[in-house]
Amino acid sequence: MSDDVVAPVDTAAPATHEPPARDITDGGPEMVQFLDAEGNRVPVTEANSAYAEFIQDVDGEELRALYRDLVLVRRVDAEGHALQRQGELGLWPSLLGQEAAQVGAGRAMRAQDYAFPGYREHGVAWCKGVDPVNLLGMFRGVNHGGWDSNENNFHLYTIVIGNQMLHAAGYALGVQKDGLVGSGDADRDTAVMAFTGDGGTAQGDYNEALVFASVAHSPVVFFVQNNHWAISEPNEKQFVIPPYQRARGFGIPGVRVDGNDVLATLAVTRAALDRARSGQGPTLIEAFTYRMGAHTTSDDPTKYRIAAEVDIWKKKDPIDRLRKHLVAQGLADDEWLAELEAEADELALRIRTACQQMPNPPHEDMFENVYVDPHPLVERERDEFVAYQASFEED
């Protein structure tokens, strides 16, 4: 039995302490999937039938565009990793393996939709138009978030697990108060998306966010990337009932989607965002996926997980499967794939160069933006600091 398929509770039976057997690779029959690991279109199932209409319009061009996103996002991530290894970044949280979950979700969003990420959402940032270079500043230690959130409706990365879920609920409440739902105008109606991991579902903030959003019927989609690990802890340490099923307990629909299938995440997220924009309230999406790499560059996964598990998930790779599909459909040939590789190389080079050239901010900048209005203590300390630094130059 999969750990995520939950047997009905038999109240007569004594509770046992034994956790259910763990098969973390099977998302179960309720998981929405359109492309299997071999790149074949999955026939109509009970789980996916309701979502097929949301990808009806996805033509060859759009499929190729999704593939391009996946490849470029993976390259951004690989470059972040390499830059950390070369000492250019202090840390990098890799999204390797989660590209399809993020690109599917990100591409389902419209420009007016607002995203609240954690710290691993490089793929969503990409789809929202944030320059990948801007993601690096925080990990290089030159800033705490190097982009204007309102420019692309993509909030700053949130390190404290769960915090952003409530921000999303609140932002959605604001959208709702502004009357920006339910008009049917595709450019006007607005939804909010919040991203967290499976570990994040244990936080109080996460659970309070679900309560607030469900009670208010706010236009928000909670997107849980169940990548099966919260640093060293397997997700059975975070929940017994998986997130998509727990959603029901909050009074909102929950859906599990194959997070390694970009078509499925696109369809499911489009459906949820439509619901939100049309005023039908929140949805919880659980993207069933896997963290292929280490938690971050500071982490050593060999301490706690077996390699065999990773090997199984390698065969479910989100990029391989879409490539197989494109090739089989005659939508991609070697030449096109090579061009894309070249584009990825160029992107990587641009990121690398920009990162290496990213200047250290002048130290007195650290006193900026502590307050909006002048604050005598901060101003005095800045002045003292500047004078003190200058005293070294005089020597």
What does the binding site for ligand TPP look like in residue numbers (CB under 6 A)? 120, 159-161, 196-200, 225, 227, 229-231, 291, 295
Pairing of strands 233-234, 220-226: unpaired
Decide whether 336 or 385 has the Cβ nearer to another protein: 385
Q: Which is nearer to ligand TPP, 113 or 299 (CB)?
A: 299
Q: Does 141 help bind another protein (rule: CB under 8 A)?
A: yes
Q: Phi and psi dihedrals of 383, rounded to 5?
A: -60, -45
229 binds, among another protein, ligand TPP, none (CB under 5 to 8 A by kind): ligand TPP
Query: Do 258 and 95 touch, CB atoms closer than 8 A?
Result: no
Shortest Cβ distance from residue 134 to another protein (Å)? 14
By CB under 8 A, is residue 240 in contact with another protein?
A: no
Write out the DSSP string of 291-347.
Answer: --S-SSTT--GGGT--HHHHHHHHTT-HHHHHHHHHHHTTS--HHHHHHHHHHHHHH
**200 binds another protein, rule: CB under 8 A:** yes
Residue 327 in contact with another protein, rule: CB under 8 A = no
C-beta of 315: minimal distance to another protein in Å?
25
**Cα–Cα distance for residue pair 84/259, rounded to 1 Å:** 26
Closest CA to 6 of 203, 239, 279, 223: 239
Catalytic-residue membership of 291: yes
Binding-site residue total for another protein (CB under 8 A)? 44
Whether 304 sits among the annotated catalytic residues: the reply is yes
> How buried is 362 (Cβ within 10 angstroms: 0-12 exposed, 13-18 middle, 19+ buried)?
exposed
Q: Of residues 203-222, which lie at the interface with another protein (CB under 8 A)?
A: 203-205
Looking at the Cβ atoms of 165 and 169, the one nearer to ligand TPP is: 165
Instruction: Compute CA distances 64 → 269, 316, 320, 324, whole Å.
Output: 19, 19, 13, 12
Residue 367 interaction partner, one of ligand TPP, another protein, none, beta carbon < 5-8 Å per kind: another protein
Residue 49 touching another protein (CB under 8 A): no
Q: Choose, from 122, 217, 277, 291, the residue flagged as catalytic.
A: 291
Q: For another protein, which residue of 29, 90, 129, 179 counts as binding (CB under 8 A)? A: 90
Among candidate residues 248, 304, 363, 371, the one labeled active-site is 304
Q: How many residues does the chain have?
A: 395
- Which helix or strand (DSSP H or E) is residue 193 part of? strand 192-197
| Residue 71 and residue 336 in contact, taking contact as beta carbons nearer than 8 Å | no
From the candidates 120, 167, 217, 295, give the one annotated as an active-site residue.
295
122 carries an active-site annotation: no
20 contacts 3 by C-beta, under 8 angstroms: yes
Give the residues lining the site for another protein (CB under 8 A). Answer: 90-91, 137-144, 159-162, 199-200, 202-205, 230-233, 237-239, 298-299, 303-304, 360-361, 363, 365-367, 370, 377-378, 381, 385, 388-389
Which active-site residues does the annotation give?
Answer: 291, 295, 304
